[in-house]
Amino acid sequence: MFVSAVWLWPAVLNVVNRVLQVRIQGWDAPTARDLLFVAGDWLLYALVTPIIFWISGRWPVVKSRLRERVLIHVAWALLFCVVWAVGGKVLELLLTLVLSPGQLRDAIAAAGSGLFKTVSMNVAGWILITLPFGVVVYATVAGMAHAINYFTEARERELQMARLSEQLASARFSALQAQLNPHFLFNTLNTIAVFVRDGDRTGAVQIVEQLSDVLRRTLRRHQSHEVALSEELELIRQYLAIEHARFPDRLGFTIEAADPLSAAAVPGFAVQHLVENAIKHGIARREEAGQLAIVARRDHDTLVITVVDDGPGLSKGEMPAGHGLENTRERLKALYGAAASLELHNGAAGGVIATLRLPYREVAVEMSDDEQ
């Protein structure tokens, strides 16, 4: 609305310019029709400016699609030149009809049978006259739209990153709480004690190493918003291995992810939250053994991660609360906007399927202590 109002300025200047030219050149005083036309011709662009802003938002000129978007805007610029020129002629006709009907009748009578040809030539000539300047005006308005959108998005991005940092801290705290809370540690240490009493030194050593790896990987994670998929899955493997050691007959799991996806970027702890929810709200509610499947695949430019359990599933309208799902959705929105999503629904054969979709991109894979 504000940008549309800016067109009042050139409209007023054009009227002033016309009046001054008349006085300097000694021409006849301009009529009301003349002044309304030179002002109204500019104000026509005020009507189409919001549309140009919408077009710029719908097809922004970005580096990845530069040629395609430039051609789209060139086509729109030519179209708007035609619209501007035709609109100007329609405005001139209406003003003449209202303020100088006699002049209009004389012009129609003078044209006679060639009226259509005269009008067509007049409109076509006006289009050609306004075409170069009209393209420049369109490019200026589209440039303003891009600049405003850029600064608006930059400011919004800054606010989102601030919220994201806070959410990441909350996510890290939740993950630490999940791995470090006394209940988790007590159960793990109790399992180690059982192995020792039973003389299973190999099992005891193995679970101690797994617990150590879980704690080390969790505590050493930096403040980056994203980690490599391989790092996230390795942390999940160790976490599930401990849970499996505690309940070997209650929990089975599989993790499928092709090696080329190792460097794919995922929000830290996002997949782990889904795994914890699947265990606590799905498999833990079964009386018999349960299975958990984690699958990562690439679908063109999208990374798709699914966490599937064979628990009782979600009743109508049910949604696990207090386990970071909404936090994860907020982080996805801040990081990727509408390009990412997290959906939960019941599987056809029972259980719950959590599907995480992310724009595919890669980050550096951190080396473990053993690899350094």
Question: Tens of pLDDT along 25-84?
Answer: 777 777 777 777 777 777 777 788 888 888 988 888 888 788 889 999 999 989 888 888
State the average pLDDT over residues 166-190: 61
Q: What is the predicted pLDDT for the residue at 179?
A: 45
Q: What is the mean pLDDT of the chain?
A: 79
- Say how far apart CA 43 and CA 34 lie, in whole Å: 14
Contact status, residue 45 vs residue 137, Cβ threshold 8 Å: yes
State the average pLDDT over residues 134-145: 86
Q: What is the predicted pLDDT for the residue at 288?
A: 82
Domain ranges of the chain: 2-157, 249-363
State the average pLDDT over residues 159-176: 66
Q: What is the predicted pLDDT for the residue at 304?
A: 96
- Say how far apart CA 83 and CA 297 lie, in whole Å: 48
Helix, strand, or coil (residue 1): coil
Tell the residue number behind the tokens 């209940």, with chain if given.
183
Q: What is the predicted pLDDT for the residue at 117?
A: 74
N- to C-terminal Cα separation, the chain: 59
Segment holding 197, helix H or strand E? helix 182-197
Is the pLDDT at 16 greater than 90? The verdict is: no
Q: Does domain 249-363 have CATH number 3.30.460.20?
A: no
* pLDDT tens figures, 352-365: 999 999 999 998 76
Q: What is the predicted pLDDT for the residue at 9?
A: 66
Is the pLDDT at 242 greater than 90? The verdict is: no
Q: What is the predicted pLDDT for the residue at 360?
A: 94
